[in-house]
Amino acid sequence: MDTKQKALVGAAVASTAAAGAAFAFKFAGTDSKLTKVADFDHQVTGVSVTEDGRIFVCFPRWTDDAPISVAELLPSGKLKAYPDERWNSWRNAKASEMPVGEHFVCVQSIVADGRGALWVLDPAAPGNEKILPGGPKLVRVDLATDQVTKTILFDETVALQGTYLNDIRFSADGKTGYITDSGTRGAIIVVDLDTGDAFRALDGHKSTQVEKDVIVEIDGRPLRRPDGRQPSFSSDGLAISNDGRTLYWQALTGRTLYSIDTSKLSKGASASDVEAAVKTVGTTNVADGLWMGSDGTLYITSPTDNSVKYWTGDALEPVVTDKRLRWPDTLSEGPDGTIYVTASHIQDTNWYKPGAPASLPTALFSFRR
């Protein structure tokens, strides 16, 4: 990262408590609401901002062997391996030498719980392919000590071969986590954060599956791999109401937003009772990240038109549209209400563009509604 980029990041991070006064460059196809916070040399997916304004990002091992899986974005603009170098030391070339349950393998999501912890969700499926047995996990890091205090490992009854642990939200009391499985058989995984017990809910239910009639279009044409396959991701984006009573989700390859009363997601509930409690909220667009704002606004990313929108209760309305938002991915909110969004450039990877570099430059942005 050069001096100019570091200055840009430093200014953006330092202004977390007063964002909105931050500058943004305006040129054709851009939105003056959008401020670039950081540039990255590798593909970013997750971002999380803590209650005191610390910013964290993560880099999954999809098309390259990223040197850092989880990092804190410092005010200086530097990325610091988090919580330490050891947890971030796993490499594809040394896979057989490192215990997958004790290192970050392919981190997809990081979420601060507002209770002093950062939770790291690791599907342990490099290249978004085969799970490495013993690797799927949820790791709790204490933000006060920067130490790992809990590791929850998911066995093959929860993280099936073909599962991809995608995103997580927490109950209002902080005792339960809800995780989307965006893999070949979508589901909502419910985990007791104290005991580590977990189970699959809505496993194979239509609300968690790919909608087969949906075509993912990017830059005005269907997005396809060289063999003709389009992106096929099941339940992906996830949000929870501020009172913790309602969970929202949708498949990335889909246009239907669903919800459920979280009280229905109990371990003893029958599959039929849980399925009967699912509600269709409305028709949206192909979406990746969801976020429930502190003011109750439900934000939804829209990769097909480089935008972030909000749900009015009946339809989607744009908040920010900008050509720099190449695949708006994950959303998070700072303590002052600033919304952060990663641009993960999935359509620009060598999955869809043969010959594209393995290491893909990406970025983090912010905006205020």
* pLDDT digits 0-9 by tens, 124-170: 999 888 999 999 999 999 999 999 999 999 999 999 999 999 999 99
Q: Residue 108 in contact with residue 159, Cβ under 8 Å?
A: no
Examine residue 314 and state whether it is found in any structural domain, yes or no: yes
The first and second tokens of residue 264, run together, are: 């229905």
Classify residue 77: in a domain, yes or no: yes
Flag whether 121 is in a domain: yes
Amino acid residing at 365: F
Look at residue 21 and tell me if it is in a domain: no
Q: In this structure, is residue 23 part of a structural domain?
A: no
**How many structural domains is the chain composed of?**
1
Can you give the pTM of this predicted structure? 0.92
Using a pLDDT cut of 90, give the percent of the chain over it.
Answer: 87
- Helices first, then strands: H and E counts in the chain: 2, 26
Q: In which residue ranges of the chain is pLDDT below 70?
A: 1-28
Cβ-count burial 130-140 (b if 16+ within 10 Å, e if not): ebbebbbbbbb
pLDDT of residue 18: 37
Quote the domain boundaries for residue 88: 3-16+28-367
pLDDT recorded at residue 349: 95
CA distances from 52 to 20, 84, 189, 327 (A): 17, 20, 29, 28
Query: Please, what sign has the CA dihedral across residues 330, 334, 339, 340?
Result: negative
Instruction: Identify the DSSP state of 55.
Output: E
Q: Provide the β-strand partners of residue 59.
A: none
Residue 347 forms part of a structural domain: yes
pLDDT of residue 64: 87
Terminal CA-to-CA distance of the chain, rounded, Å?
29
Tokens of 237: 């984006």
Angle at 279 between CA 278 and CA 282, to 5 degrees: 140
Is 358 within a domain? yes
Does residue 35 lie in a domain region? Answer: yes
The CATH number of the domain where 158 resides is what?
2.120.10.30
Structure token pair of residue 258: 């669903």
